[in-house]
Amino acid sequence: MKSFTAFAAFWLFAALLPAQSAAQWAHTNGPTGGYVFQMHQHNGTIYACTDGGLWASTDAGQSWHVFSDAFAGKRVLAITPGDSEFMVLAVEFLSRSTEI
């Protein structure tokens, strides 16, 4: 009886697991900059490094905008926001800003 209970509990858990996992993901409206290399969240803003620039969302991914014209159309590989400055690595250059 004990092994039957464990067997039934395992199958019940296995049947419910995919439904719980699928509920955690939702499509967003972008970013539309191509491949996404990295995403980072800082002070309520989500940043996405893409083939088409550095994109930002302030509403949990519902809408996206190009963060800065300096990165528009550039392949942005990485971003490291800090408390007082921003570091952005793009294919053509490395940029640093104190405007967050």
- Model pLDDT for residues 45-73, shown as the tens digit of each residue: 899 999 888 899 999 888 999 988 888 88
d(CA 64, CA 89): 20
Count the domains in the chain: 1
Three-state DSSP at 75 gives: coil
Within 10 angstroms of residue 6's Cβ, the number of other Cβ atoms is: 10
More confident position, 58 or 96: 58
Structure pTM?
0.65
22 domain-assigned: no
d(CA 64, CA 45): 10
For 82, the domain range is 28-97
Instruction: Extract the tokens encoding 38.
Output: 């990295």
Instruction: Extract the tokens encoding 85.
Output: 């400055």
CB 36 within 8 A of CB 78: no
Instruction: Extract the tokens encoding 15.
Output: 């049947």
41 domain-assigned: yes
Residue range 1-56, pLDDT digits in tens:
555 555 555 555 566 655 555 567 777 778 877 889 999 888 888 999 998 888 99
